[in-house]
Amino acid sequence: MKRGGFTLIEALMAVVLVGLAIAALVGANIAFTSANGLGAELSTAEFLIEQIRELTATLPVIDPQTEIAVFGPEEAGSSSYDDIDDFNGASFCPPIARDRSTLNDLAAYRQSIQVENVSSTNFEQVVTDHGSSFVRVRVSILLGAKEVSSTQWIRARY
């Protein structure tokens, strides 16, 4: 008399296959979650870079009152920075928005800004005599000690 059903071997093979499928799904879920988290960090970093770009877009390169290029702030406090070179060496944690308000919800991030005079014939060459009409603004966004994103752009004096 033959009975219907699965043998012990067939049942074990089915359990192994289902277990492998579940393990693969869990692994894929972990990878997707990690990629999503990195994407969110990168999006936030790009947003913070854009805030600095928009803040400095309408500012002159050098001090409008003295017309002297002194890299670093002439005034105390970032709220009174009136030109781009004032932002040289600035670091904001929590970061600031384009209207200079503090973005407390993003306090884990830090905006680091460097402004350098560059040669008018080679934007990669830094010059120290302030004789060039061009500056390179470099903004780096850090999350803890890890740099998430950075970018740079060239501005001409006007």
pLDDT for 80-134, tens place per residue? 788 888 898 999 999 999 999 999 999 999 999 999 989 888 888 888 767 788 8
Chain position carrying tokens 């990690």: 34
Q: What is the pLDDT of residue 20?
A: 93
- The C-alpha atoms of residue 89 and residue 150 are separated, in whole angstroms, by 15
62 has pLDDT over 80 = no
pTM of the model: 0.74
Q: Which residues pair with 154 in a beta bridge?
A: 136
CA atoms lying within 13 Å on the CB side of residue 8: 0
| Average pLDDT over every residue of 62-84 | 70
Q: What are the helix (H) ranges across the chain?
A: 8-57
Q: Where are the domains of the chain?
A: 8-156
Chain position carrying tokens 């884990």: 108
